[in-house]
Amino acid sequence: MARSGKIPRVVIAATASGAGKTTATVALIGAMRARGLKVAAFKCGPDYLDPTYHERAAGVRSHNLDGWMMDREAVIATFTRASAGADVAVIEGMMGLFDSATPTGDEGSTAQIAKWLGAPVILVIDASGIARTIAAVAAGFARFDPAVAVAGMICNRVGSRGHLDLLRAARPEIPVVGGFPASSDLAFPERHLGLLMADESTVPQRSIDGWSRLAADWLDLDAIVEIARSAPALEAGRVSSASKIDLAARPQARIGIAYDAAFHFYYEDNLNRLRALGAQLVNFSPIRDRELPESDGLYFGGGYPEVFARELSSNGSMLAAIGAFAARGGVIYAECGGLMYLTDAIRTLDGAVWPMAAIVPGVAVMSDRLQAIGYVEVETNADSILGPAQTRFRGHQFRYSTLEGAENGNRFDTIYNVAPRWGRAPFAEGYRVGNVLASYVHAHWASNPAVAEALIRSCIRSRVSRQPAA
């Protein structure tokens, strides 16, 4: 077991999206576990789906580390807390190693996280159809930013062991620590948001185990572990009170978390912040359950409500219970897929219209094209369950639906001023109906820990106000 501050760690990065980072990460984690190592898993960036693959391989929850939505202190605090007691930490990057929120800097990039954590990098490269060119690729990545220690390469989609030997013989500046052959029978399934959630119904255990066996056979695990152990002691420095999370806090409020195949996009850091502030989190399924759990507030994350629109719409008792909870003044916070569920209806790509909770007016209309993507910064223009007016926090959008017909309703206020990080003008959003607040923005509360505190206080106030008079 690693000592605090000296956790062996490695970042699995890539030359570009699609090179095979997730596959390599899952395979490496599985092979390390097979050696008896306890592995902590992390994902750079805002992605919700890749961490579910990490969890299947590691047997523990994976945590997001995002340089734009979280500051350095929050990243280090989250990493330190989640890797406590582990033998090694494996951190999957996002996009290409140096791709970021800006075209000229490393803000929000995998490289930034590697520098903040002092973590060496192993680069995954799609090696199909190349030979000596690997030396040129390695030279560029080795020299582009000397502050990023690129210590090894994994060559994905090699044609044979002879091909892998040829790549090593090119003597690239970054040593080749192994590779993977193309293996279509083990490939993970995909949907429009990327990979499917890695539950056992979509990703059989044989796929996870198969990649782990390939890693044990094709990677130089000893070299990779030594690279991870070369990471220096992590200087946590000053951790602000906003970043301190005490998971042993006494529960003060109960929050129902919508969690099933339709709703499962949550940042573990957000949930931990609620727990630290005294919230008891109780999962429930809008698909299967007929009643709400006893709760002071409800939290609907993102997911795929359009895929399960029939099941959600047919569960009339759950829809009625949520409507009654809102009518009584109960606190409800919803993001993206959660917003879709709270609207009048969801219209799927086949034109079918499925009635939903009818709390937020309008119809969530699915498109076959991406409707919004990227980081955003939110500032509220009125008091809400997330705090006073002018509360600010950061998040991101990634959606294939739009809310239509909301402008014809008069049951809500729009209280978000949303400023996209890149390429679009600010716009109004954030639909408030009493103690209900719903938005397409996936928020990360490390950008403003006061938001989680305000939500807890709102739940407690709501519980008190809904109690019958003595």
Catalytic residues: 336
Write the single-letter amino acid at 338. G
Q: How far apart are CA 113 and CA 393, in angstroms?
A: 20
* 64 within 8 A of 74, measured Cβ to Cβ: no
Rounded (5°) CA angle 315-303-243: 125
DSSP string, 135-147: HHHHHHHHHS-TT
* 51 within 8 A of 426, measured Cβ to Cβ: no
- How many beta carbons lie within 10 A of that of residue 244, not counting itself? 11
Pairing type for strands 401-404 and 39-44 reads unpaired
Q: In this structure, what token pair is assigned to residue 355? A: 């009635």
Buried b (16+ CB within 10 A) or exposed e, 43-60: bbbbbbbbbbbbbbbbee
- How many beta carbons lie within 10 A of that of residue 350, not counting itself? 6
Q: In this structure, what token pair is assigned to residue 72? A: 């350095």
Q: 469, 461, 468: which is closest to 297 by C-alpha?
A: 461
Question: What does the DSSP 8-state code read for residue 449?
Answer: T
Q: 378, 347, 382, 398: which is closest to 445 by C-alpha?
A: 378
- How many beta carbons lie within 10 A of that of residue 93, not counting itself? 28
